[in-house]
Amino acid sequence: MKLPLLMLIFFLPSCQKEEKRARPPIQKEANTEDPNEKQKQSLLNVPAGAVIEDLVLPYYNDDKKKVSLLTIKEVTVADDLRSDKTILKGENLKVWLFDDEGAVRSTTVISSADYLVNKEQLVAKSEVLMIGSNGKFAAKSKGGVFSLTSGQAILLGPATAQFKIPQKKDIEAP
């Protein structure tokens, strides 16, 4: 029994010393940053490739009145390797633009678009369907650019539009 006990006394300290020597290189490797990993960061502190569901982004003006509202069913965080831009690639989007009184001016449905975080712009390269309040107009296009902070939109062609023009009332002669 004394022989195995003596062996443990000699082997245990040597194992502990090996373990202590092995730790600093592991910690050193963890502290070094890969330059490619920096490129995968986004401005949102969310890693590139992350998927977010049911995202709602409201926008207000300086007077705290609603300007626009963006809802996205599914968002994938992407990064642009050429610059420090963060792009959210969205599927099944809706954009509501509001007038000065806060009433809905138009509703837009988009199948897929890119949201530029630093510009607060939505760029659609797919079919866009915009319907005005009370059905006064409808427009369909193959793309569009939406400035969510100003509540403005540009539809890209080819596009079609329909406007509902109120009919003039018959005026009776006196």
Chain segment 61-84, per-residue pLDDT in tens: 888 899 999 999 998 887 655 555
- How far, in Å, CA of 161 to CA of 141, rounded? 9
* Beta bridge partner(s), residue 90: 75, 113
- How far, in Å, CA of 44 to CA of 173, rounded? 67
* Beta bridge partner(s), residue 52: 75
C-alpha closest to that of 67 among 153, 155, 145, 148: 148
Residue the block writes with tokens 């949102």? 44
In the predicted structure, residue 146 carries a pLDDT above the cut 60:
yes
Looking at the domain that runs over 39-163, which CATH code has it been given?
A: 2.60.450.10
83 residue type, one letter: S
Please give the DSSP secondary-structure letter assigned to residue 135.
Answer: G
Ranges assigned E (strand) in 50-98: 51-60, 66-79, 86-98
Domain limits, the chain: 2-32, 39-163
C-alpha closest to that of 128 among 155, 149, 153: 155
In the predicted structure, residue 53 carries a pLDDT above the cut 80:
yes
Q: What is the pLDDT of residues 107-119, one digit of tens each?
A: 999 999 998 878 8
Overall pTM surpassing 0.75 (yes/no): no
Beta-carbon count within 10 A of 80 CB: 14
